Structure 1
Amino acid sequence: MKITGYKHELLDKYMSEITSRVAAESGIPSDRYHFGKLVLQSLKDDPDFLMQTDGGTGESETNGSVLKRSIRCVACFKKLGLKIGDVIILMGANNLDQAIPFYAALFEGIIIAAIDKTLGVSELNDVFSANKPKLIFCQGDKVQDAKKALELAGGDGRVISYDRSPDTISFSDMMEIYGEDIDVKDYKAADFDPEETIALVVATSGSTGLPKAAILTHKNITVSSTYFGSFGKKFPRITKCSLIVSPLQWLSALIHYLVGPIFQYSRLQTSAELTTEHIFDMINKYRPTLLISSPPTMITLLKEAETKECDFSCFEIVFLAGSAVSDHLKATLQSRAPNTQVVNGYGMSEIGGIVFFPYDVPLSSCGKPFAHMQYKLMNVETGEEVKEPHKIGELWVKAPGGVRGYYNYPLETAEAITKDGWYKSGDLHYRDEDGNYYFVERLKLLLKYRNHQISPVELEEVIQKLPGVLHVAVSGVPDPDCGELPIAFVVPRPEADITEKDVKNIVKENLTDTKLLRGGVVMLKELPLLPSTKLDRTKLKQWAAAFAKKN
């Protein structure tokens, strides 16, 4: 089945203009893929534009200020001995300082690894052992943990605190001691090969296993990440302001740090604790126009909005991403914000952006193919390509610049990428006659009851329709005779009075006998979530096994 990939002519024209201008100025043709130089040029183009606001403190900063501080940070990096290919760790709150080493690293070919700021010593040791960071930027309360982990990892890096700490130098002191006032007009970003030079190592979710860090080169970002702007109708300013509700290590936040300067929209973030009340305050006060949210977060926001004031109508577009998106959730959000475009934002850390064009497609679809990527569905049992519509297969993709795999994880990289460059996503999809793709399930999450494969997502969508259900997650109870028995973990709404029988009955009324909840139903106050707000499927499996032993 031949499907023509989507091509956004206005986006391509704008990116061609800015990349050509950068390459012409430097005289280096490959600089059209040097993402640091693209950001540098974008910040120069409009120095008075408001780039970032901290909703926790009310402070804000312009492009010009960010650029000047980032160039000063470059001088710090050089005096501290950092060079192309070295790694810095960012593990702070979303304060205004976090962007400064971020952009300085992009300018100089230094690898950025943003990680979870709540990690303990043992987990930090694992990260530092793999990444060998030269500088670690964190909050004061994590300095001791970072130092201990660095010592365990045998590293020679330095720890810098965003705020004041008696145990190390602060970020402001670093900038004062090692920085230099360099005229913006005189600064030139480092020259390197953008196709081979790593820009970021991006945390994978770890929702089905141990987290890894996906490699993204400057060329990967320039091509794939900028297609996030494919919803734009006018360029360069595709929207007014994005609201960030996830930490920097997740693509849903990283994408705004990357393409915000390119597409000239402001970034609203917060260094404060990200409570529902705080999110509502920021929405009502600043009126952001763009949001990327996980489905669990959006479900919680909509539920709280039933009793607390929040006007979602400011959003022009909301991406629901990170896990399966139900039609019910999209419809509920649409009812609260009728003029907002609500889309499935199917993305991958390994690609560095969204994988499909998600606009003007059927409700359940995650989008159409992009023209700059290659796609195919593979039968997981036969290894043959699935070419017929409505037949399920594992999604394989190829992206410009290649998918590079996982940083210092060669075995996992070899398992995920074929010799001819196809990345095996681990996600099951099908496509319709018009080339629209539909997410089915994570391959690793499929349950096997006797000889039948069961999708937890399918069960979850049915149970979610039961009045009184706030959140639901389905896993499998190990069984020596049958393989796995489906078990539902349900979080009822506070006022609801639903029973195990109610949950089992709605499944029985809507699905076949093989999909019945033979593993049982467990009522919870909350589901286990990862820092990305994705469902922690690994912990669910542990709970399911523990439940089986008790019963």
Structure 2
Amino acid sequence: MSHMKILRGSLARKLFELPAQNAKSKSNLAPRVLVRTFATQPAPAVDTKYLTSPYGEVQVGSESVTEFVYRDIELWADKPCVTCGVSGRGYDYQMMRLMVDRCAKALIAELKMAPGDRIGLILPNLPEFVSLIHGAMHAGLVVTFANPLYTADEVRRQFMDCGVKCIATIEMFMPVAKEVCKHLKDYKGTIWVGGEDDKANGIHGLRALLMADHKADLPDLNADDVSLIPYSSGTTGMPKGVMLTHKNLVTNLKQAQTPKMMKYEGEKGKCDVVLTVPPFFHIYGFNGILNYNLTLGYHVVTMPKFTPDDYIRCLVEYQPTTLFVVPSLLAFLATHPQVKKEHLQCVETIMVGAAPTTDSMLEKFLLKCEKTKDQIKLLQGYGMTESSPVTIMTPYEYPYGKVGAAGQLVPSTLARIVSLTTGENLGPHKSGELLVKGPQMMKGYWNNEKATRETIDSDGWLRTGDVAYYDEDHYFYVVDRTKELIKVKGNQVSPTEIESVIMEQPEVADVAVVGITDALAGELPKAFVVLKPNHKLTEKQVYDLVASKLTKYKHLEGGVAFLDAIPRNAAGKIMRNELKVLGGKKH
């Protein structure tokens, strides 16, 4: 760690000189494999109406997210908090907490933001992401974040829907921010991470904001206040804003850290090193990885962009004990010739998130690092943006026979498996739709009561759109999806969104998009297009249209096919399973 730059101490040492981040700058959670006797596991609760967690209850969160994350900071104030694995730039916990406080006051005093106002982040994984998102929440603001790879149209649609009044970004994405802010009502200004003030154009450099030491009264926060609005397609349709409260997020952290589930059963401050790539602008990356590890005093090493060389260098330099990955990254570790077994000897735990992985890939990884199933823990779980995100996790110790299970219900969480045809509750080993309920469930969809009612019933049960079953020990296995969502390398892709772009073409009479199986990506979008009589379009024209409007992982890499008609049922709904069969596999 010779050149790691963890910033400590007072502001007098130019603590906020952040380089511009440009080319020159250097809700399935995952499988765990353990061999322990099942007798150590709590007996599952039995109820004819629903299943309850074998781990009991947790106290529902009453603190704000920021208060909870930093509540034990005095135990590790001088320890490294978050570090950029590419540039080496980082901050210790004391400095990060100071940055959070100063950011909160600057948002109120300088940008004139008020509690309840929305701020939009267009940021990759950077240490400053932490100060901005927690600074905003500490000021009573509501955060929404966008994938930095989104086009200006995609960001504009989200930020206009959410009513964003301020954007924070880096130099690379400043053109998108400048274009989007033209369409935002009562816009207050843009925060430039790594840049300088340009007050004439409403641009505030983050360093200047933090150095100014603004004076402002921070609001008293209510745990039921909405703090975060990530966007998700839910079970179907266009992306919708998911309203998550402080209580939702804090409760989910408590649920994941309950004894028998968390890594060290209450042992904090070990300063373990965590290397993570999954983006903080997803709920899994933000609450499931970033917040989870900060509450334990761990050192989070992250990367703004994945490259094989940088990732391997981080393995060598930082010697992480825990890796948070997505299936494609696990495949890289298991199969890439540059990754050697010595690179993985420090690793004790791997959490695979955002999408399912296969048993064969897990076996390849164990073979690569020459470790056995009791030398390295491969962790798994299940969740959604709408559930903050975790509802099901494997406990830290569980029998080898449960490999492949998503896990058991986390504390204070209920579940039902219901028949897809009759809606009745089903017993063990019978597949149906998974419904969940608990204090981590969202408040609802932003400005979309209809979608909220379709997703959460009057008794508070959230329909996941996933087909699952549970065994006699109440371990859950997710086997299919009833929802239309396509998962590309863990990224959510809404078929409706792609279909709406294709329908803009005057030559198109009808269209349907489905995900087809791909060995590396999991799924790839494929479009089936019906043309109007006497009209022509080529596959390339359709592909290029989508590529010009949407971010890369939404491109039609699965192909384009032309049909005489889209198969639909009597109610007019697209029969996507028929199209998947027709589409076949793409390798």
- If the length of structure 2 is used for normalisation, what is the TM-score? 0.70
What residue in structure 2 maps to residue 24 of structure 1? none
Match of 1:285 among 295, 299, 317: 317
Determine whether 1:381 maps to 2:421.
Answer: yes
Determine whether 1:191 maps to 2:214.
Answer: no
Determine whether 1:324 maps to 2:356.
Answer: yes
Determine whether 1:201 maps to 2:222.
Answer: no
Residue deviations 1:493-543 (CA, integer Å, cap 9, x gap): xxxxxxxxxxxxxxxxxxxxxxxxxxxxxxxxxxx9xx999x86x946764
SS of equivalent to 1:444 = coil
SS of equivalent to 1:199 = strand
Match of 1:371 among 393, 398, 411: 411
* Structure 1 segment 51-70 matched on structure 2, within 5 A: 51-70=81-100
SS of equivalent to 1:325 = coil
**Identity within the alignment, %:** 20
* Structure 1 segment 491-510 matched on structure 2, within 5 A: none
What residue in structure 1 maps to residue 136 of structure 2? 105
Determine whether 1:427 maps to 2:466.
Answer: yes
Per-residue deviation, 1:45:
4.3
Question: In 2, distance between residues paired with 1:343 and 1:198?
Answer: 30
SS of equivalent to 2:412 = coil
What residue in structure 2 maps to residue 498 of structure 1? none
SS of equivalent to 1:364 = coil
What residue in structure 2 maps to residue 268 of structure 1? 301
Q: What amino acid maps onto 1:340 in structure 2?
A: I
Per-residue deviation, 1:152:
2.2
Residues 41 and 540 (structure 1 numbering): CA distance in 2 closer, same or farther, change over 3 Å? same
* Structure 1 segment 392-541 matched on structure 2, within 5 A: 392-400=431-439, 402-444=441-483, 473=523, 539=556
Question: In 1, distance between residues paired with 2:277 and 2:428?
Answer: 36
Per-residue deviation, 1:61:
1.1
Q: What amino acid maps onto 2:379 in structure 1?
A: V
RMSD over aligned CA atoms reads: 3.5
Per-residue deviation, 1:347:
2.0
Residues 175 and 395 (structure 1 numbering): CA distance in 2 closer, same or farther, change over 3 Å? same
Q: What amino acid maps onto 2:278 in structure 1?
A: S
Per-residue deviation, 1:401:
5.7
Is the CA contact 1:87–1:133 (under 8 Å) kept in the aligned structure 2?
Answer: yes
SS of equivalent to 1:263 = coil
Question: In 1, distance between residues paired with 2:247 and 2:95?
Answer: 27
Residue range with higher mean Cα deviation, 308-317 or 124-133: 308-317
Q: What amino acid maps onto 2:99 in structure 1?
A: R
Q: What amino acid maps onto 1:148 in structure 2?
A: E
Residue range with higher mean Cα deviation, 410-419 or 146-155: 146-155
SS of equivalent to 2:164 = coil
Question: In 2, distance between residues paired with 1:237 and 1:532?
Answer: 39
Per-residue deviation, 1:199:
1.6
Residues 66 and 350 (structure 1 numbering): CA distance in 2 closer, same or farther, change over 3 Å? same
Residues 40 and 240 (structure 1 numbering): CA distance in 2 closer, same or farther, change over 3 Å? closer
Q: What amino acid maps onto 1:5 in structure 2?
A: S
Per-residue deviation, 1:270:
2.4
Question: In 1, distance between residues paired with 2:56 and 2:75?
Answer: 23
What residue in structure 1 maps to residue 347 of structure 2? 315
Per-residue deviation, 1:358:
1.0
Residues 396 and 102 (structure 1 numbering): CA distance in 2 closer, same or farther, change over 3 Å? same
Residues 6 and 288 (structure 1 numbering): CA distance in 2 closer, same or farther, change over 3 Å? farther
SS of equivalent to 2:71 = helix
Per-residue deviation, 1:44:
4.0
Residues 348 and 545 (structure 1 numbering): CA distance in 2 closer, same or farther, change over 3 Å? farther
Match of 2:254 among 226, 235, 238: 226
Structure 2 stretches lacking a partner, 5+ long: 1-45, 487-513, 531-546, 564-578
Residue deviations 1:213-266 (CA, integer Å, cap 9, x gap): 322111111111333333222422477122120222112320233233321111
Is the CA contact 2:118–2:162 (under 8 Å) kept in the aligned structure 1?
Answer: yes
Question: In 1, distance between residues paired with 2:232 and 2:485?
Answer: 20
Q: What amino acid maps onto 2:357 in structure 1?
A: V
Residues 436 and 151 (structure 1 numbering): CA distance in 2 closer, same or farther, change over 3 Å? same
Determine whether 1:391 maps to 2:430.
Answer: yes
Is the CA contact 2:233–2:485 (under 8 Å) kept in the aligned structure 1?
Answer: no
Match of 1:163 among 194, 203, 217: 194
What residue in structure 2 maps to residue 180 of structure 1? 214
Per-residue deviation, 1:476:
8.3
Question: In 2, distance between residues paired with 1:204 and 1:84?
Answer: 24
Residues 147 and 355 (structure 1 numbering): CA distance in 2 closer, same or farther, change over 3 Å? same
Per-residue deviation, 1:71:
1.3
Q: What amino acid maps onto 1:215 in structure 2?
A: M
What residue in structure 1 maps to residue 495 of structure 2? none
What residue in structure 1 maps to residue 283 of structure 2? 251
Residues 306 and 151 (structure 1 numbering): CA distance in 2 closer, same or farther, change over 3 Å? closer
Match of 1:6 among 54, 77, 82: 54
Per-residue deviation, 1:418:
0.6
What residue in structure 2 maps to residue 149 of structure 1? 180
Residue deviations 1:167-189 (CA, integer Å, cap 9, x gap): 63321123234x3389xxxxx86
Residue range with higher mean Cα deviation, 135-144 or 159-168: 159-168
What residue in structure 1 maps to residue 121 of structure 2? 90
What residue in structure 2 maps to residue 211 of structure 1? 239
What residue in structure 1 maps to residue 509 of structure 2? none
Q: What amino acid maps onto 1:355 in structure 2?
A: T
Per-residue deviation, 1:63:
0.9
Per-residue deviation, 1:412:
1.9
Residues 239 and 428 (structure 1 numbering): CA distance in 2 closer, same or farther, change over 3 Å? farther
Q: What amino acid maps onto 2:306 in structure 1?
A: L
- If the length of structure 1 is used for normalisation, what is the TM-score? 0.74
Match of 2:387 among 327, 351, 358: 351
Q: What amino acid maps onto 1:267 in structure 2?
A: V
Residues 213 and 300 (structure 1 numbering): CA distance in 2 closer, same or farther, change over 3 Å? farther
Higher RCO (C-alpha 8 Å, min separation 6): 2
Question: In 1, distance between residues paired with 2:436 and 2:209?
Answer: 43
